[in-house]
Amino acid sequence: MRSTSNLAVEVDNLKKYYGRIKALDGLNFKVYEREIYGLIGPNGAGKTTTLRIIATLLQPTSGHVYVFGHDVVEEAAEVRKIISYLPEEAGAYKNLSGLEYLHFMASFYSKSKDELKIMVEEAVKISGLNERLKDKVKTYSKGMKRRLLIARTLMVHPKLAILDEPTSGLDVIHAYYLRRIIKEYVKTYGVTVLLSSHNMLEVEYLCDRVALIHKGKLVLEGFPSELKSKYEASNLEEVFAKVTQIV
């Protein structure tokens, strides 16, 4: 483990190849503790690959990634103890009830029955699914499933929550509900969040800092307000359009 001051994630010259296809080409960025950091970029830019490497699912071809000082390759088991990852297309075990699913997930992070109970109670609150949690997951709508999964990700109080497109495919009501939950939760518990999104409104609303990735490289990084004024844009969508055109 290397010493870090207030660094949550450090990505250093990260490269990833899938056979001959280059997914990441020397990516560098840092995420500080208690901030919400957003990765934006067009499809195939390398956002999901980056998040998967940080979540210990994929291994870098070269370069290093540290999560709170732990190397994601060498100390993958340590990293898994402090992160909670929500993939873009995540599902839940359809033959378990929502409550059973939450119990199952919480049991890997809790050290006692009391702690487990607290985690599940918190997830119940976050999900807002109430009585429906007693039903099997296969009866849930897409929005309900995503609420359950966000609740599962946040209930364990991770040091780093990795959210890949947290509101993808959700209607306005569900998306609004989840964004509000994430923002409140981070404020209350001081969790660091690294997320990716296509939705610029979401990124602007949620993130303290954003990074634009294009063709596996970081092309822009900063505070949303700073970026908007730099590119004389009224919102991040305009910034995104201007930057991807000139790249």
Q: Which residues bind other proteins (CB under 8 A)?
A: 18, 52, 55-59, 77, 80-81, 83-87, 89-96, 100, 104-105, 107-109, 149
Q: Could you tell me the smallest distance in angstroms from the CB atom of residue 165 to other proteins?
A: 13
* CB-nearer residue toward other proteins: 30 or 80: 80
Q: What is the DSSP letter of 75?
A: T
* CB-nearer residue toward other proteins: 80 or 228: 80
* CB-nearer residue toward other proteins: 89 or 232: 89
Q: In a 3-state reduction of DSSP, which class is residue 234?
A: coil
Q: Could you tell me the smallest distance in angstroms from the CB atom of residue 208 to other proteins?
A: 24
Structure token digits, residue 232: 């004389």
List the one residue out of 129, 156, 130, 158 whose CA is nearest residue 141. Answer: 129
* CB-nearer residue toward other proteins: 104 or 189: 104
- Distance from C-alpha of 161 to C-alpha of 82, rounded to nearest angstrom: 9
Q: Check if the beta carbon of residue 98 is closer than 8 Å to that of residue 140.
A: yes
Q: What are phi and psi of 171, to 5 degrees?
A: -75, 170
Q: Could you tell me the smallest distance in angstroms from the CB atom of residue 154 to other proteins?
A: 14
* CB-nearer residue toward other proteins: 11 or 105: 105
Spell out the alpha helix ranges (H) of the chain: 47-54, 76-82, 98-106, 113-127, 142-155, 172-189, 200-206, 224-230, 236-246
- Distance from C-alpha of 94 to C-alpha of 162, rounded to nearest angstrom: 23
Q: Could you tell me the smallest distance in angstroms from the CB atom of residue 35 to other proteins?
A: 21
Q: Could you tell me the smallest distance in angstroms from the CB atom of residue 146 to other proteins?
A: 12
